[in-house]
Amino acid sequence: MVPEGFQQSVLETKPLNGRNDELTLRVVVFANVTTDPSTFSYALGNTDAEHERLIRQAARFAPLTERLFRDAGVGPGQRVLDLGSGMGDVAMLVAQIVGPSGEVVGVERDPSSIERAQIRVMEAGLHNVSFVRCDASELPGERPFDAAVGRLILQFLPDPVAVLRSVSQLVRPGGAIAFQEPSWKPYLALCSQMPLWSACGSLAVHAFEGAGANAEMGPELPRLFEMAGLPSPVMRMEMLLGHDLESTRWTSDLLGSLKPQIERLRLSVEKVGDFETLAERLRLEAIASGTTGPCVALLGAWCVKPAA
Ligand SMILES: C[S@@+](CC[C@H](N)C(=O)[O-])C[C@H]1O[C@@H](n2cnc3c(N)ncnc32)[C@H](O)[C@@H]1O
């Protein structure tokens, strides 16, 4: 019997007596799929489809992210660190803000993402963006940055406080630290009268959490900043709404990237149905209920690093 919350893997089945019919040894491993970090893989994966999804998502989130960074004090001529760069969209957005006299260094652990991000930076004609391949927990110390930023990255880190502490050590006193992280609670609250939307939101949250990510990292940012020795941050929340196909596709796209986790965790997709037709069914449900559809809420937090 498999204990609740555990996943069974058979590593080896071999006959003890040299024959296949008797005394068989089965080496069975029970991994706790809900709490054991050693079994977690990155929730969204690094497939080509996920890369394309990140690019589409970045185009939608760009105005929200740009507002946050500008308000946080990111400006012309600055040298900025971008944590968890993905396809490089945040790094390129920051490059526009800092201008040609500034510089952006992106940190990303996945080599295929870096490769794609580098090509996109080149195609955009930007000469002041570079990427370092490393885990966020092993940031290379070099000359100080004027600011450090990140979008949708702290939620995936096993020890976000430790990472925020090392990020802050790389920023000069007086420099800005700004992060944008998710909250799914507003999504779920807004669609509580729409069963399909609700099922999608719940499925996404369970998949993220089952893969070890924190779906409610946004509201935890003040606690994180303070535990990392930073001042209490200024906070804001922004959320895109819409039920045109481009908007509803955000939810179906995301579930598509989470599919391997959904299958690994054996989460039921019964209430969600066929992913291929999901965007259209979400659109129709919003129209029928006389309302619109949510997107994940983005919570922004920023502070200025105090003088030592
Ligand atoms: C959801 S994507 C966000 C990408 C980008 N910040 C954006 O908003 O478009 C998160 C990215 O963080 C990267 N990542 C996840 N865990 C990481 C870690 N421990 N260190 C460095 N990068 C990591 C993933 O490979 C992925 O590219």
The pLDDT assigned to 142 comes to 74
For the Cβ of 51 lying below 6 angstroms from any atom of ligand 1, the answer is no
C-alpha separations of 75 from 102, 206, 266 in Å:
9, 38, 46
Half-sphere exposure of 227 (CA within 13 A, CB side): 11
Average pLDDT in the chain: 89
Q: In this model, does residue 2 exceed pLDDT 70?
A: no
Radius of gyration, CA atoms only, the chain: 22
CA 15 to ligand 1 center in whole angstroms? 45
Kindly state the average pLDDT of the residues 147-170. Answer: 98
In terms of pLDDT, which residue wins out, 142 or 283? 283
Q: In this model, does residue 19 exceed pLDDT 90?
A: no
Q: In this model, does residue 161 exceed pLDDT 50?
A: yes
The pLDDT assigned to 84 comes to 98
Please identify which residue in the block is written with the tokens 């606690």: 223
Residue 40 confidence class, pLDDT cut points 50, 70, 90: low
Minimum-distance ligand 1 atom for the alpha carbon of 61? 8
Closest by Cα among 229, 263, 250 to 297:
250
The pLDDT assigned to 41 comes to 82
For the Cβ of 149 lying below 6 angstroms from any atom of ligand 1, the answer is no
Residue 5 confidence class, pLDDT cut points 50, 70, 90: very low
Q: Name the burial class of residue 161, with classes exposed (0-12), middle (13-18) and buried (19+) by CB atoms within 10 angstroms of its CB.
A: middle
Phi-psi domain of 202 (left: phi exceeds 0; alpha: psi -120 through 50; beta: other): alpha
Q: How far apart are CA 45 and CA 162, in angstroms?
A: 23
Domains defined along the chain, listed by start? 6-38 (no CATH), 40-304 (3.40.50.150)
Q: In this model, does residue 230 exceed pLDDT 90?
A: yes
